Amino acid sequence: MDNTTKISVIVAVYNVENYLEASVRSIMNQTYRNLEIICVNDGSTDKSLDILQRLQKEDERIIIISKPNGGLGDARNAGLEQATSEWISFIDSDDTLRLDTYEIVAEAIKANPDMIHFGINIVYENGISQSKNDEAYYAIKHEGIVELTDSMIPKMDCSAVNKVFRKSIIDKYSIRFEHILYEDFPFSIQYMSTIHQVFYIKEKLYNYQRRTGSIMTNTFNKSPRAIDHLYAYNYVCEFLDRNKSLDKHTDMMTVLFPACYSFVIRHGNKDIMPKAVDYATELYNKHAFLQIGLMRVIKNGTVLFRPKNRKKRKRPLSQILETIFSIKKEFVNYEWCKVFRLFGIMIGRIPQK
Q: Give, in order, the Cα–Cα distances in Å from 322 to each of 16, 80, 118, 326, 348.
A: 51, 55, 43, 5, 15
Residue 160 CB partners (closer than 8 Å, separation 6+): 76, 90, 184, 187, 188
pLDDT digits (tens, 9 = 90+) for 61-77: 999 999 999 999 999 99
pLDDT digits (tens, 9 = 90+) for 8-26: 999 999 999 999 999 999 9
pLDDT digits (tens, 9 = 90+) for 279-328: 999 999 999 999 999 999 999 899 999 998 766 666 676 677 777 888 88
Mean pLDDT, range 17-38, rounded to an integer: 98
CA angle 262, 265, 271 (to 5 degrees): 165
**Count of all residues that appear for the chain in the document:** 353
Residue 286: exposure state from Cβ atoms within 10 A (0-12, 13-18, ≥19): exposed
Distance CA 148, CA 130 (A): 30
Distance CA 329, CA 331 (A): 7
Mean pLDDT, range 29-55, rounded to an integer: 98
Q: Give, in order, the Cα–Cα distances in Å from 206 to each of 64, 88, 213, 342.
A: 22, 15, 20, 49
Predicted local distance difference test score (pLDDT) of residue 314:
63
Average pLDDT, the chain: 92
Distance CA 26, CA 226 (A): 31
Structure pTM?
Answer: 0.90
